[in-house]
Structure 1
Amino acid sequence: MSSPKNGFYRQEITKTLWEVRDRYRDLQPVGSGAYGTVCSAVDRRSGTKVAIKKLYRPFQSQILAKRAYRELRLLKHMKHENVIGILDVFTPDVTLEKFNGFYLVMPFMGTDLSKIMKHEKLSEDRIQFLVYQMLKGLKYIHSSGIIHRDLKPGNLAVNEDCELKLVWVYFVFLLQILDFGLARHTDAEMTGYVVTRWYRAPEVILNWMHYTQTDCSSKETHHFYPVVKDFVPYFWYSDLDQLTEIMKITGTPSQDFVQKLKSQDAKNYIKSLPKVQKKDFASVLKHASPLAVNLLENMLVLDAEERVTAAEALMHPYFEPIHDPEEEIEAEKYDDTFDNMDLPLDEWKREFSFKNGQLERPSQNKNILLC
């Protein structure tokens, strides 16, 4: 085995060899998934704790290379305090021919909303603050034309100061909103299968391959549907079970809603259901404030075209004590033209170039230095 590149060192972690920059020390395993593994580390330059992700074989196939490129592009595009972004990206490989992988460095948050909810009862003020931060992050990513397809408490990272970030990577680990691998710019090929069932919007279940930006991005608040799960005493075993439970709360949809559905099977299913009246949310959410109940009712509207958007929800009176328009910023539109590209592996590698930790378009030099 050759010596580490100058400025790097090697360490074996859970039977995997890591070769990272000298500035990152005290590596500790955090989690792993289908596409990579994550360690925490201390950045000696800043003295802060960071999360470092190592992708598994990103250039094993064209599909994996494209996913890796998308993840890096998405992370670089996100520049918002409530959305996971990237602090550094590096590779120990020195030429394009030897370029086999890279590392992503992100903020380390420490825990996620799912764990917090399991171990403590959240006060009204804390709930208000967490939901406000989540909506700010959602407004930002939606404004860029990007959607998050598996937004759930486990993908909402929180630090000790109750600061929240939406996390996106190819697998979920216990840090911020971390699922950029599942987050996609809107396209006509999206299905609901990647979305944890409890967190699927009704339109995802009903339309599957007809998932549009109207369904899930500009009007997307499908991440609030897990609230319905807490209204029933058992788990759902199928999407239709879930849909039935949702409608026990929201009521049977109108004929206008049914006509909007693109799937004839979905139309037939809705028509076959017995008529159910919408529940009084205040009677279900007995311990929530009237403003919180009203906000939730606006979020849990079956028709996505009538459902409140993240931007609209931020204007709700529930957030009046903490509402700050200057913090509710929008993003630049995300350029997804590369999503339609089908390149050989060598060409995908050429799309990556590192200079001082920043992704740039490489030159045509086949021996480009990746530093």
Structure 2
Amino acid sequence: MKRKGLNQNQFADWEVGTDYECIKILGQGSYGAVCSALHKPSGKKMAIKRMDGVFEDDIDCKRILREINLLRKLQHPYVIKVFDVLEPSNKETFDCIYVVLELAESDLKKVIKSAIHLSIKHIQTLVYNLLCAVKYLHSSNVLHRDLKPANVLVNEDCTVKICDFGLARSISGVENTSLLVNGRRQRLLKKDETTSGESGDDVVIFGAEQAKIKPAESIDQQLDSQMNELKLEEQKREMSEETKRKEMQKKLLRTKDHRKNMKRELTGHVVTRWYRAPEIILLEKDYGPAIDMWSIGCIFAELLGMMKESAPTYLDRKPLFPGKSCFPLSPDKSVKEERKGFPFSKNDQLAVIFDVIGTPKEEDKCFVTDAKALEYLDAFPRKPRAEMQIMYPGAGEDAIDLLNRILVFNPYFRLSVDEALAHPFFKKVRKTEREVTAEKDIQIEFEKEQLDKKKLRQLILQEIQQYQLIKRDQEQA
């Protein structure tokens, strides 16, 4: 029997089999759509993510493959759970994937845009749960790399579910990098001291001069490959509006509902920069877990902005760093001002960041390895750090102290996830039994391979088969 008020025609071409009944579209984008659904055998409500045009673009296809691979291996209550990846009717020609996920009530982006206000207890719980999830990820040597409010699902009890692992990376086997950027050794060093790594593979020189990091050749090659992919992703994200519109029209011609969403989705492509760490903006190769901590700091600030003392109405809320361009990956092409030979815009992402955290001092730049990047940093006018307590008057001393310790320009000195969890701000909500670590490192076996469409199809089918085996085992248990 059809549910009252349901437009079943919108699901006419959804090939989800007889076990699922699609109920309501929850969101749409360039990737496809997500709907709520009923799993008939169990009576449970779930979400089904339909991804269209899987093999149209190799980079997008690899992101999909990476996500379903990682989510099969990541098992934590605060990481979105995949129940199934449905088998395609034609394994040779399929171009659409259906991923069955647990259903959450909302996400932080929607919550921030709603009219509700949060108390400090709500914020403590949300951020603490988010940190527990990230602790698990980092302990498995996985970086999310795209944490933002839309990628943090949330339920009424303030439990969270991190989702969208398409940009995530495993840094297993790249330990030099993760140790360097996590900052544990560097915090012990004083200005102008010199140290060499125990293995002799890296040398870090501190002081007024830049850090000179010499990772092993294999590590360098891996990170070069990752950075090249990041550049390609950024170039795709930052295409001209006209080009993006044409591409979106090709992908979204299926329904009128898709076309209505086009304008909204075009703006969504550039939101990620608001949560991007300085080391990524400066194209540093040797980045690590600290990039996720920066993103958490940005999310934390937006949640503090949901307190009534911070913003009287939801219309007064805004992200902490709403940059409109990001030199050098996506510069403002209309900028006319130059400083020391570099284009300068007040809306550039780093300029917006420095308006809040102040311009970095010489010792803050020790992680920067590129001479041109150092020259670029010198071009910014000197600014002091803003008073966070004035920006978020209801937050309290502990909240402001934690925010200031996370939003630090130099990743060496940024709080790690363990240090953040131990901060007094979480004293009333902390439950150490939730701070679990992964039993083993998680690796993505195909990450270093050159993958063509034939190989990508083969690997996706292998992932689908893995999910079918897991499903079969659970049904028999």
The worse-fitting range, judged by mean Cα deviation, of 180-189 and 125-134 is: 180-189
Displacement of 1:252 in angstroms is 2.4
Q: Structure 1 residues 271 and 231, CA, compared in 2 at 3 Å: closer, same or farther?
A: farther
| 1-structure distance, mates of 2:452, 2:367 | 40
Change (3 A) 1:64 1:294: closer
Alignment pair present for 1:110 and 2:100 = no
Q: 1:164 to 1:259 in 2, by over 3 A?
A: closer
Could you tell me whether the CA contact under 8 Å between 2:32 and 2:50 is conserved in 1?
yes
Tell me the alpha carbon deviations over residues 32-88 of structure 1, each in whole angstroms, 9 at most, x when there is no partner: 222232221011233221111122132446545433321210111221111112111
- CA change 1:76–1:56 in 2 (3 A) is same
Deviations 1:230-260 (A, max 9, x none): 7999953333633223223323212122243
Give the residue type in structure 2 aligned to 1:350: Q
* Residue aligning to 1:339: 447
Deviates more, 1:222-231 or 1:32-41: 222-231
Please name the residue that 2:276 is paired with. Answer: 200
Q: CA deviation at 1:153?
A: 1.5
> When the two structures are aligned, how many residues end up with a matched partner?
335
Contact 2:141 2:441 in 1 (8 A): yes
Structure 1 residue identity aligned to 2:287: T
Contact 1:204 1:211 in 2 (8 A): no
After alignment, is 128-137 or 326-335 more displaced?
326-335
Cα distance in 2 for residues equivalent to 1:214 and 1:262: 18
For 1:9-48, what aligned pairs fall within 5 Å after superposition?
14=10, 17-48=13-44
Q: Which amino acid aligns with 1:225?
A: C
Aligned to 2:433: 326
Asked if structure 2 preserves the Cα contact closer than 8 Å seen for 1:13 and 1:29, the reply is no
The answer to whether the 8 Å contact 1:89/1:105 transfers is yes
- Structure 1 counterpart of 2:288, from 187, 190, 213: 213
Structure 1 position 317 matched with structure 2 position 404: no
Task: Report whether the alignment pairs 1:238 with 2:233.
Answer: no
Alpha-carbon distance between aligned partners in 1 of 2:295 and 2:99, rounded to the nearest angstrom: 29
The one-letter code of the counterpart of 1:122 is L
Shift of 1:13: 5.5
Answer yes or no: is the 8 Å Cα contact 1:28–1:39 preserved in 2: yes
Structure 1 residues 13 and 136, CA, compared in 2 at 3 Å: closer, same or farther?
farther
Query: What TM-score, normalized to structure 2?
Result: 0.63
Instruction: Say yes or no: does 1:158 pair with 2:154.
Output: yes
Question: What's the CA shift string for 1:171-227, capped at 9, x where partnerless?
Answer: xxxxxxxxx11223354323373662211112222x22535226525xx33332363
Instruction: Give unpaired runs (5+ residues) of structure 2.
Output: 1-6, 172-222, 238-270, 306-316, 327-344, 471-477
- In structure 2, the residue matched to 1:182 is 167
* Root-mean-square deviation over aligned CA pairs: 3.0
Cα shift at 1:344: 4.2
Task: Tell me how far apart the structure 1 counterparts of residues 319 and 23 of structure 2 sit (CA, whole Å).
Answer: 42
Contact 1:37 1:54 in 2 (8 A): yes
Aligned residue number for residue 385 of structure 2: 278
Greater CA deviation, 262-271 or 350-359? 350-359
The letter of the residue matching 2:296 is H
* Counterpart position of 2:64: 68
Contact 1:143/1:330 (<8 A) preserved: yes
Richer in helix (by share): 2
Aligned partners of 2:319, 2:97: CA distance in 1, in Å?
45
Distance apart, 1:267 and its partner CA:
1.0
The 2-side partners of 1:267 and 1:210 are apart by 15
Judged with a 3 Å threshold, the aligned counterparts in structure 2 of structure 1 residues 286 and 63 are, in CA distance, closer, same or farther, namely: closer
Unmatched segments (≥5 aa) in structure 1: 1-10, 169-179, 361-371
CA contact (8 A) 1:39 1:53 kept: yes
| 1:348 aligns to 2:456 (yes or no) | yes
- Counterpart of 2:468 in structure 1 is 358
Using the aligned pairs only, state the percent identity: 34
Q: Distance in 2 between matches of 1:87 and 1:233?
A: 35
Instruction: Tell me if the contact between 1:203 and 1:215 (Cα under 8 Å) persists in the aligned partners.
Output: no
Q: How does 1:61-100 map to 2 (within 5 A)?
A: 62-93=58-89, 96-97=91-92, 100=95
Match of 1:87, SS state, is strand
1:131 equivalent in structure 2: 127
Counterparts of 2:145 and 2:321, CA distance in 1: 24
> How big is the shift at 1:134?
0.8
Contact 2:69–2:444 (8 Å) recurs in 1? no
Deviations 1:97-149 (A, max 9, x none): 35554321001112111222222110111111111111111111122222222
User: 1:215/1:117 Cα in 2 relative to 1: closer, same or farther (>3 Å)?
Assistant: closer
